[in-house]
């Protein structure tokens, strides 16, 4: 009699397909709305959000669908054999690197736009945004290339199928360097930068509001009014920045902690052994972290009125087109097929 599967396997078998079904259409809709509509955002911010939608879709496709979901619904995933075994982590880590660092770049760009005037016109423009986005895509994939030589496809006689495993002859120094760089890139530096930039942004806003309040109090006797420094549009920009970046941190922190713990326990730990609590915690952290790639549209809709209006209009249009197509099909009848 086959051993009963752990509850984490059942949970992931349901969760990841649902995540892809919800997230991929949401990201496509995000991209199209930012591409075709004006959402009261700067051109540079719009480009970053479009790039994030593309990167998040890549994360959902390569990691959630092609790696994880395929594993749960096929006996032998296609990536268990060459050349996909060697290429798999190049695409998965590459997509994750790009998605992570686009959030960091967006946070930095909004920080400069909100808190400085000297660099705003020089850095916070569409030309600079395109260059930074292109550099992140290139470097994110380039830094994942070492994983191409880290895995090998082997045939296991006892279970009669192919497996994609770490190369047994992989030099320890190579593996340690590769894993250390990836851990630093995705689990340490992003949190430092995002936390620091958000803290500085909120501190600068607090100081600016105090100066504004003092200035307004001094000039109130003369009848002059001072325009608020933090106008409605700027306030929405701050809300968007903090919401997107801090949601990323909150959803990713569990995975980062568990990955750091796993790194200290060696490279060859059996990640399928759910009798180990760290494996359960790590998979929960991965589920939360990958949720980042599916929730951004809902964050934008909650914080940006114009974007929310465009989403509602798009949904109404899709429903109207669906009803129209159904009515036309009904009028044709079965004999006109």
Write out pLDDT tens, residues 231-263: 556 677 788 888 888 899 999 999 999 988 887
Q: Which domain holds residue 271?
A: 7-77+95-134+179-212+235-321
Q: Could you give the number of structural domains in the chain?
A: 1
Extract the tokens encoding 36.
């075709």
Task: Give yes or no for residue 104 having a pLDDT over 60.
Answer: yes
The top-scoring range by mean pLDDT among 197-206, 286-295, 319-328 is 286-295
Residue 156 lies in a domain: no
Extract the tokens encoding 242.
């903090």
DSSP output for 9-54: HHHHHHHHHHHHHHHHHHHHHHHHHHHHS--S--HHHHHHHHHHHH
Q: So what's the pLDDT on residue 42?
A: 85
Residue 332 lies in a domain: no
The residues, ordered by sequence, that sit 6+ positions from 19 with a Cβ below 8 Å of its Cβ are 60, 64, 287, 290, 291, 294
Spatial separation of the C-alpha atoms in residues 102 and 76, rounded to whole Å: 34
Residue 119 lies in a domain: yes
Domain of residue 264, CATH code: 1.20.1070.10
Dump pLDDT digits (tens) for 180-189. 899 999 989 9
Q: Is 206 buried (19+), middle (13-18) or exposed (0-12) by CB count in 10 A?
A: exposed
Do 243 and 299 form a contact (C-beta atoms < 8 A)?
yes
Q: So what's the pLDDT on residue 226?
A: 47
Residue 147 lies in a domain: no
115 phi and psi angles, rounded to 5 deg: -105, -15
Give the position of tokens 């030589």.
Answer: 149
Residue 223 lies in a domain: no
Give the position of tokens 């009963």.
Answer: 4
What's the alpha-carbon Rg for the chain, to the nearest Å?
24
Instruction: Output the CA torsion sign for 66, 71, 74, 77.
Output: positive
Do 275 and 289 form a contact (C-beta atoms < 8 A)?
no
Residue 311 lies in a domain: yes
Extract the tokens encoding 278.
């760290």
Residue 44 lies in a domain: yes
pTM over 0.85: yes
Residue 169 lies in a domain: no
Dump pLDDT digits (tens) for 110-169. 888 887 777 777 788 899 999 999 999 999 999 999 999 999 999 888 888 898 888 888
């Amino acid at each position: 009699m086959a051993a009963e599967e752990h509850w984490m396997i059942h949970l992931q078998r349901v969760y990841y397909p649902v995540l892809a079904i919800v997230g991929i259409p949401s990201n496509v809709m995000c991209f199209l709305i930012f591409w075709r509509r004006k959402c009261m955002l700067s051109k540079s911010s719009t480009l970053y959000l479009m790039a994030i939608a593309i990167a998040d879709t890549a994360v959902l496709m390569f990691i959630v669908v092609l790696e994880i979901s395929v594993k749960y619904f096929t006996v032998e995933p296609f990536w268990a054999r060459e050349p996909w075994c060697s290429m798999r982590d190049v695409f998965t880590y590459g997509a994750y690197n790009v998605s992570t660092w686009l959030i960091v770049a967006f946070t930095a760009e909004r920080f400069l736009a909100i808190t400085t005037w000297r660099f705003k016109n020089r850095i916070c423009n569409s030309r600079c945004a395109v260059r930074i986005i292109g550099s992140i895509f290139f470097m994110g994939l380039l830094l994942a290339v070492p994983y191409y030589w880290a895995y090998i496809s082997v045939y296991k006689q006892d279970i009669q199928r192919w497996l994609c495993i770490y190369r047994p002859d992989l030099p320890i120094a190579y593996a340690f360097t590769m894993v250390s760089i990836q851990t630093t890139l995705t689990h340490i530096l992003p949190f430092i930068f995002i936390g620091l930039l958000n803290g500085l942004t909120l501190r600068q806003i607090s100081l600016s509001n105090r100066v504004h309040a003092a200035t307004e109090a001094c000039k109130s006797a003369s009848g002059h009014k001072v325009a608020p420094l933090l106008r409605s549009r700027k306030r929405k920009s701050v809300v968007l920045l903090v919401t997107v970046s801090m949601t990323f941190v909150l959803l990713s922190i569990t995975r980062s902690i568990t990955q750091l713990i796993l790194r200290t326990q060696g490279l060859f730990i059996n990640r399928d052994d759910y009798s180990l609590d760290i494996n359960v915690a790590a998979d929960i952290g991965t589920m939360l972290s990958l949720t980042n790639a599916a929730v951004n549209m809902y964050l934008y809709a909650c914080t940006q009125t114009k974007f929310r209006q465009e989403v509602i209009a798009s949904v109404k249009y899709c429903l109207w087109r669906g009803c129209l197509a159904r009515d036309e099909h009904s009028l044709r009848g079965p004999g006109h097929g």
